[in-house]
Structure 1
Amino acid sequence: MQVLKRALLVLFTSAFIFGCSSNKADKPTVPDKPASELYSESQTAINLGNFGEASELLEALDTRFPFGPYTTQVQLDLIYVYYKLNETPKALANIDRFLRNNPTHSDLDYVYYMRGLANMAADYNLFQSVVRVDRYDRDPSFSQQAFRDFGTLLKRYPNSDYAADARARMVFLKNNLARHELAVARYYIKREAYIGAVNRAKYIVERFPDTQAARDALVVMQQGYTALGVDDLAEQAARVEAVN
């Protein structure tokens, strides 16, 4: 039995090593070239939309020439390429790395803008986009972070070339976040958790007053207060809702 176990161990180990060797052999490698050539090729790949090839070239540059003349630009390009490849964890990791290592860089407005875009992409749901299924009950943490990222950009760099788009995206995100809160408030109503529903509706009205969700939240407040027997506050919510 011991002999059989050792034989099987050798067999599995050999198979594992062979598999790893095969994977390494199949994986394309970037030729050993000067940094200038690799960077030029990466830019050509980006311009042609070959982001997979661009990422390989830029990663090779980042590894082989960590302190070369292209270091900072390579990191910026990697952020963009990872975003285009929808590799948002890599994009966000590179963004945080760049912010740590370059706290006074002239392109920080771009980096914060890209962090907002990457967090929006992380929150993106293809099923919702294609089938138009409302999924505002899902975790909003990525949208919240994206909202903060764009807010940081506008606060620190109000005249940035990215400011106008960031502002428009914040409006979009604000409406989404408000709808998420409304979905939670309505869920509380269904579960007859009326105090929770009223408190969540109040939060929507206070935090997102200029959204459709805020107007709908007033209806939730009416329902909650009515169920709790607080008729005067239910009537007050109804009057505000009628005005809006």
Structure 2
Amino acid sequence: MQKKLSVVAATLVLLSLSGCGLFSEKADETKGWSATKLYSEANEELEGQHYERAIQLYEKLESSYPFGTYAQQAQMQIAYAYYKSQDQAQALAAVERFIKLHPNHANVDYMYYLRGLINFNDQIGFLNFIYEQDATERDPKATREAFAAFKQLVEKFPNSKYTPDAIDRMRYLVNAMASYEVHVARYYYRRGAYLAAANRAMGIMNDYRDSPAIEEALFIMIRSYDKLGMTELRDDTTRVFKLNYPTSKFLDEGKKADRQWWQLWN
């Protein structure tokens, strides 16, 4: 009987303590904060590179003041914070959400630009490993998506302050895509797939006419046609090559053995 009374007494004590708040959930420190304070605190966290905390505060601001002047800006900052924290998927989702909700926003051009930057950074990571993996096992999806995003910005907002930088990045991306195609053409040539190498190089000629990669693409075509016994195509391509690149390093190397020629690509 005494044991039962002790249990009851302990239970009553716990309930009493709970009522006093000792076991209550942690208080929300942002309770009662104005939109201005939430936005200011979130910006400070963002500047301090505390991205997770910044995102929490921006989300709190958006949910507490959905129709206020800061709500849309908070949505943009959330996308930027995810981008800075290298969370590509969440950053892109936040960008797409903003563009869908606010297609006519005064600063929507920035979101198109940010979408390009997110994919551009992922593409840089792709290039860092381009020579460490089999070229045919990778799909430069991020490169194409970054180019498409920047292109959309340039076409929709030709007078945007972000457009000049987007154009510069597009040029870089074109060269990156052309370099990838050259790398694949080399792969085919090295493995004796000369027709595939020639066709891949021809694709570079058609798709990336102003790229520096054209020089090597032409040379791969010359070597591939030579291996295939297509002497007429080889000679025609050689004439075009010499006309456009009279001092090319490939001309001298092409006269040497294949083993020495490969050293250019190692």
TM, length-normalised to structure 1: 0.79
Other-structure match for 2:37: 37
Tell me how far 1:35 sits from its aligned partner: 3.0
Summarize the Cα distance change of 1:227–1:133 in structure 2 as closer, same or farther, 3 Å threshold.
closer
Tell me how far 1:115 sits from its aligned partner. Answer: 0.4
SS at match of 2:170: helix
1:110 maps onto 2:110 in alignment = yes
Q: C-alpha separation between the residues in 1 aligned to 2:82 and 2:29?
A: 18
Separation in 2, partners of 1:46, 1:234: 59
- Number of residue equivalences: 217
Q: Note the C-alpha offset of 1:127.
A: 9.1
Which secondary structure state, in structure 1, belongs to the residue aligned with residue 103 of structure 2? Answer: coil
Q: In the TM superposition, what is the alpha-carbon distance from 1:84 to its structure 2 partner? A: 1.1
Offset, 1:213:
1.0
Q: Deviations over 1:178-217 (max 9, x none)?
A: 1100011111112222222112111111211222211100
Which digits, 9 at most, give the CA deviation of each residue in 1:7-26, with x for residues without a partner? xxxxxxxxxxxxxxxxxx99
Cα gap change, 1:152 to 1:185, in 2 (>3 Å)? same
User: For each residue in 1:62-86, what CA deviation from the matched residue of structure 2 results, as whole angstroms up to 9, or x when unmatched?
Assistant: 3444444322111111111111111
1:220 correspondence with 2:220: yes
The aligned counterpart of 1:197 is 197
Is the 8 Å Cα contact of residues 126 and 140 (structure 2) preserved in structure 1? no
User: Over aligned residue pairs, what C-alpha RMSD do you find?
Assistant: 2.6
* Larger RCO: 1 or 2 (CA < 8 Å, sep 6+): 1
Residue of structure 1 equivalent to 2:96? 96
Q: 2-side partners of 1:91 and 1:143: how far apart?
A: 17
CA deviations on 1:30-89 (whole Å, 9 max, x unpaired) are: 632333321121122234443333122113333444444322111111111111111111
2-side partners of 1:29 and 1:219: how far apart?
67
Question: Relative to structure 1, is the Cα distance of residues 97 and 30 closer, same or farther in structure 2, using a 3 angstrom cutoff?
Answer: farther
Aligned ranges 1:137-156 → 2 under 5 Å: 137=135, 138-156=138-156
| Structure 2: distance between partners of 1:75 and 1:222 | 54
**What is the alpha-carbon distance in structure 2 between the residues aligned to residue 147 and residue 114 of structure 1?**
12
Seen in structure 2, the aligned counterparts of structure 1 residues 99 and 47 have a Cα distance that, compared at 3 Å, is same
| 1:139 CA displacement | 2.3
Give 1:58-73 correspondences, 5 Å limit: 58-73=58-73
2:214 and 2:185 map into 1 onto residues whose CA distance is 11
CA apart distance, 1:225: 1.4
Consecutive unaligned residues in structure 1, runs of 5 or more: 1-24
1:234 aligns with: 234
Q: Give the gaps of 5 or more residues in structure 2.
A: 1-24, 245-266
For 1:206-217, what aligned pairs fall within 5 Å after superposition?
A: 206-217=206-217
TM-score (norm 2): 0.73
**Deviation at 1:102?**
1.5
- Percent sequence identity over aligned pairs: 36
Q: Is the 8 A contact 1:128 1:135 kept in 2?
A: no
Q: Secondary structure at the match of 1:210?
A: coil
